[in-house]
Copies of this chain bind each other. A is one copy, B any other.
Amino acid sequence: MATITGPIDVSALRARLDRASTAAEQAGVDALLISPGSDLRYLIGAGGDSFERLTCLALPVGGTPTLVVPKLEQPGYAGIPTDELGVEVVTWVDGEDPYALVKAAIKGDRTAVADMMPALHTIKLGNAIGGQQSLAGPIIRELRMRKDASEIDALRKAGQAIDRVHARMGEFLRVGRTEREVAKDIAAAIVEEGHTHADFVIVGSGPNGASPHHRDSDRVVEAGDVVVIDIGGPVAEGYNSDSTRVYVMGEPKHDDVWDTYAVLQAAQKAAVEAVQPGVTCEQIDAVARTVIADAGFGEFFVHRTGHGIGLDVHEEPYIVSGNALPLEAGMAFSVEPGIYLPGRWGARIEDIVVATENGVESFNNRPHELVVL
C-alpha cells in the first residue's frame, strides 16, 4: 500500500508536479504516466506498491493530474492532500478497464511511462492509448537528481544513522559467527539507529568479499578474514543510506591486504576530493579507476564508481564511464570503488556525497582505514 511515513510538504509537492509538467512539455510528450514507486512518492508523497492492479498518476501537460487507483487501495492514499495538490482521484474496481480511465485523463498520445512500470501495464497502456511511448525516467531524473535542501537534510540524517551502525560493528562482527548471524544483528541495528527498515545488508567475508554483490551466507567468519560490510536503508522521509566499510579479523591471512587496501583507499579519497560542480560523472569514475589501474589492479575493479541516491538506493546520476553529465550542486551519489581478488578477498569503500556550491560534502564520516576487529 501507499506507505506514507515521512511528512507531506504540500508546497514542495505542488512545485514538483508543476516542474514535471513543464519538463514533460519541453521533452515533447503529452503526458507522464507514473506507476507506484519512488517517482510517484516524489510527486505526490506516497509511493504505493500495487502490481497487477493498475495504479497510475497521469500528468497531462496543461491538464489536471489524475490518480487512477483501485478502489480497495484508495484508503492507502488517505494521507495525501489531493485537493490541495490539485490531483483528481479516479477509482476503479475489478472488472473495469483502468487503461481506458488513464486514456480519458490525458490529451494526445505521446506518453512517457515511469521506468519502473511493469511491462504488464506499459504494453496495455500502449495498446489503449496508441501513439509513441517513451521513458519518463530521463524527464523525472532531471528533477530528482537535483536535491533540494529538505532532501539533503534527509540524506544527511540517513548517512549519520548508518555511520552509527558502522561504529557499532564490533558488537556484531566476530570470529566464529556466520555471515547470516552477523547480518541479522546489523539489520536490527539499522532500525535501532533510525531507519524504517534495513534495505540491504552485505556481509562478505574472506573469498565472499570478492563477489561485489554477495549478500550473506552460512560461512563462518574466520581469524584473518577481510570482511566487506555494505549496508543501508531508508529513514522516515524515504531517503536512503548506503555505506561500505571493510574490517579485518585480527591480522589479515593474506600478505597483500595492507598494500592493496591502501591503493583502494587512495582511489576512493581522490574520487571524493574531485567532486565539484562542473566535473563530469565519468571524470569522477576515471579518477578512482586511474589510481587503481596505475597500481596494477584495473582488471579487479569490475563495476562503476557510484550511483545517485535519494528515494531510490540506485538512481541518477550514475558515476560511470560514458556519462558526460556535469555535476551540479545538489547532486548526491555514492563513491565506492572496489578491488576484488577472486577466490581470495575483496574490498570496497563507499561514502554518499553531495556536490555543493564549492565542492563536496560527505554524508558518511566513519574512518576509511581498514578496521581491525
Contact = CB atoms under 8 A, between A and B. Distances in A.
Interface of A: 1, 3, 51-52, 71-73, 75-76, 93-95, 113-120, 122-123, 133-135, 137, 211-215, 302-304, 314, 320-322
Tallying the copies of this chain within the complex gives 2
A59 to B, nearest CB: 15
Contacts of A215: 1, 3
A115 B118 contact: yes
Contacts of A302: 71-72, 93
A173 to B, nearest CB: 20
Nearest to A125: B119
B120 A137 contact: yes
A135 B117 contact: no
Nearest to A1: B213
A303 B94 contact: yes
A295 to B, nearest CB: 20
Contact of A72 (B73, B75, B303): B303
29 contacts: A1-B215, A3-B215, A51-B116, A51-B314, A52-B115, A72-B212, A72-B302, A75-B211, A75-B213, A75-B214, A76-B211, A93-B303, A94-B304, A94-B320, A95-B321, A95-B322, A113-B123, A114-B119, A115-B118, A115-B120, A116-B119, A117-B118, A118-B119, A119-B135, A120-B137, A122-B122, A122-B123, A123-B134, A123-B135
Contact of A113 (B51, B73, B117, B119): B119
Contact of A119 (B75, B122, B211, B304): B122
A133 B214 CA distance: 34
Contacts of A113: 119, 123
